[in-house]
């Protein structure tokens, strides 16, 4: 698409494209994190500053969780046109990672993950508000 034909971010079409791109990129991020947690468990733990996890079940279970939320983000957005589950999941992650960061010593990856999750969630909320749509989707009965 030629540059002059692309919708600007100030237009409804531009904001919709931005929101779609954000949701897809955030789901892709969750998928990649899930792959590392599931299939590169020990390497990923050491890279993030953790000692080798024993047992490996729990980090791998976290990987499965990331696969689930990636699918939920895409399903909610493309079927129901909502982002509520994405925003809720990111919010819970930020609270959890923030509490853990301040409650005990943690490797660098924990606060960085909290900041990243906060930025992703805030970006989606900002675009959704600019579009004047509820988080739960335009067809939802609530005003979330």
Q: How far apart are CA 132 and CA 33, in angstroms?
A: 31
Looking at residue 2, what is its pLDDT?
Answer: 62
Neighbours of 57 (CB within 10 A): 10
Contact 110, 131 (CB under 8 A): no
Query: What local confidence, expressed as pLDDT, does residue 112 receive?
Result: 98
Across 8-12, 61-65, 120-124, 129-133, least confident range: 8-12
pTM: 0.90
37-70 pLDDT, tens digit each: 999 999 999 999 998 877 899 999 999 999 999 9
- Which of 41, 31, 57, 48 lies closest to 97, judged by CA? 48
Provide the terminal-to-terminal Cα distance of the chain, rounded to the nearest Å. Answer: 35
pLDDT at residue 1 tops 70? no
* pLDDT(142) > 60: no
Specify the residue for token string 């990129």: 25
Instruction: Outline where DSSP puts E strands in 7-138.
Output: none
pLDDT for the residue numbered 6 = 67
Rounded to the nearest 10°, the torsion over CA 128, 130, 132, 138 is -30
Those residues with Cβ within 8 angstroms of residue 60's Cβ, 6 or more apart along the chain or in another chain: 37, 38, 41
Asked whether the predicted pLDDT for residue 143 surpasses 60, the reply is no
CA atoms within 13 A on the CB side of 91: 9
């Amino acid at each position: 698409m030629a540059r002059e034909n692309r919708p600007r971010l100030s237009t409804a079409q531009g904001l919709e494209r931005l929101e779609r791109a954000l949701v897809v990129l955030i789901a892709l991020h969750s998928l990649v994190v899930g792959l590392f947690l599931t299939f590169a468990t020990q390497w990923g733990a050491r890279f993030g500053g953790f000692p080798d996890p024993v047992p490996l079940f729990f980090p791998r279970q976290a990987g499965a969780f990331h696969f689930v939320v990636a699918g939920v983000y895409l399903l909610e957005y493309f079927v129901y046109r909502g982002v509520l589950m994405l925003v809720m999941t990111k919010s819970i992650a930020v609270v959890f990672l923030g509490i853990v960061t301040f409650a005990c010593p943690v490797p660098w990856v924990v606060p960085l993950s909290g900041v990243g999750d906060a930025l992703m969630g805030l970006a989606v909320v900002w675009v959704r508000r600019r579009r004047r749509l509820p988080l739960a989707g335009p067809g939802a009965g609530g005003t979330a």
